[in-house]
A and B are shown apart, each in its own frame.
Chain A
């Protein structure tokens, strides 16, 4: 993996890894996010109410998963000055709080003409299921 502090377009290699990073996502964190974003709906705040909607319990808002993945990328970019110019995600399964999640990614290709690197990113459950998958494009300054 490239050294984040010295990361440049030239130093980034196809195959470089982002993570893996494991972290525990609490229900309180999800509730705080939902409240901050004005998404105070039962599926994001209350297990019992979420089950009444047919969910396995309270779930993480999709844009919180996106935010979590964006942090994987910005942590990797560090202080290099690189910035995310695009992210896209597919939600395959609900992300349940009170579980340990693993974030991972790989640089998959580079575009010399606009000095961008493309990367795969995803959130895995404890069982190894990819709950959210996506890609990000990162631009590097000259």
Chain B
């Protein structure tokens, strides 16, 4: 049995989102035909809420909810899956200059997995940092489909993954309710816990999936000469 998860989303716990988790899950239920997502992973910015318990909402909507974090490093933003006490003691998740190589190596040693997200994005993505610094070691995957990507960003991410031999994941990076589940990752295996997810990201079979609607092209406006007012 396969499992499709949106691996990257932000609820109102992140300072730049106003999306309640319940509204996300209701939206996925309403849009099930267009976005057949079995679960979401909350990757709040620079934090991890160990005590948050979403079982009642999972039961209400029949959608899996897992917790992770998006941290900021000297190589851009990184998703950390399988966060535990050892990791939160070792790293200050609020630090926006975490050392990426240490995060990747230490998170793996502590039983999790760290995956750079939106690598094709200027300033906060891996590609720009690779142009100036040596590549990171022990990267197993990068996010090549991101629901918030601008034109060309996903293409750069795909090329990075191809050229470096990284595996690929997808996530919506949703900060708005209606954008949840637009990009996701389909796993061959059944996933019910964060431990399942970490195991599958490390050694399972998976691929990014794109549920973004194909858009009717809008014609470019013809530039016109305008006099100074």
What residues make up the interface of A, taking CB atoms closer than 8 Å to B? 14-15, 22, 24, 26-28, 31-32, 35, 45-46, 88, 90, 92-93, 98-100, 102, 106, 108-109, 118, 120, 122, 126-130, 133, 135
B221 interface hit (Cβ, 8 Å): yes
Given contact pairs A126-B217, A126-B221, A133-B175, a sample of 16 additional A-B residue pairs in the complex whose CB atoms are under 8 Å apart: A15-B31, A28-B226, A31-B229, A45-B229, A46-B228, A90-B175, A98-B223, A100-B220, A108-B178, A109-B26, A118-B18, A118-B23, A120-B177, A126-B218, A128-B215, A130-B148
* Cα A15 to Cα B30 with chains together (Å): 8
Residues A120 and B176 in contact, CB atoms below 8 Å apart? yes
Once A35-B229, A108-B27, A120-B179 are accepted as A-B contacts, the answer to whether A100 and B219 lie under 8 Å apart by CB is yes
What residues make up the interface of B, taking CB atoms closer than 8 Å to A? 16, 18-20, 22-23, 26-27, 30-31, 148, 150-151, 175-179, 215, 217-221, 223-224, 226, 228-229
* Cα A93 to Cα B19 with chains together (Å): 21
Residues A109 and B228 in contact, CB atoms below 8 Å apart? no
B22 contact set on A, CB distance < 8 A:
109
B215 contact set on A, CB distance < 8 A:
128
* Cα A109 to Cα B177 with chains together (Å): 9
Residues B221 and A24 in contact, CB atoms below 8 Å apart? yes
B221 contact set on A, CB distance < 8 A:
24, 98-100, 126
* Cα A46 to Cα B176 with chains together (Å): 33
In the assembled complex, how far is the CB of residue A29 from the closest CB belonging to chain B, in whole angstroms? 10
A130 contact set on B, CB distance < 8 A:
148
B226 contact set on A, CB distance < 8 A:
26-28, 31
Q: Which 5 A-B pairs have the closest CB atoms?
A: A108-B177, A120-B176, A106-B178, A109-B23, A126-B218
* Cα A108 to Cα B226 with chains together (Å): 40
A122 contact set on B, CB distance < 8 A:
176
Residues A109 and B179 in contact, CB atoms below 8 Å apart? no
Residue in contact with A135 in the complex, picked from B18, B151, B219, CB distance below 8 Å: B18
* Cα A46 to Cα B183 with chains together (Å): 38
List 30 A-B pairs, Cβ < 8 Å: A15-B27, A15-B31, A22-B218, A31-B229, A32-B229, A88-B18, A90-B16, A92-B148, A93-B150, A98-B221, A99-B221, A100-B219, A106-B177, A106-B178, A108-B178, A109-B20, A109-B22, A109-B23, A109-B26, A118-B18, A118-B23, A118-B177, A120-B179, A126-B217, A126-B219, A128-B151, A129-B150, A133-B176, A135-B18, A135-B176
In the assembled complex, how far is the CB of residue A43 from the closest CB belonging to chain B, in whole angstroms? 14
Residues A102 and B218 in contact, CB atoms below 8 Å apart? yes
Residues A108 and B23 in contact, CB atoms below 8 Å apart? yes
With CB as the reference atom, state the residue of chain B lying closest to A121. B176
Residues B218 and A100 in contact, CB atoms below 8 Å apart? yes
In the assembled complex, how far is the CB of residue B217 from the closest CB belonging to chain A, in whole angstroms? 8
A88 contact set on B, CB distance < 8 A:
18
B229 contact set on A, CB distance < 8 A:
28, 31-32, 35, 45
Residue in contact with A129 in the complex, picked from B151, B219, B220, B223, CB distance below 8 Å: B151
B179 contact set on A, CB distance < 8 A:
120
* Cα A27 to Cα B179 with chains together (Å): 31
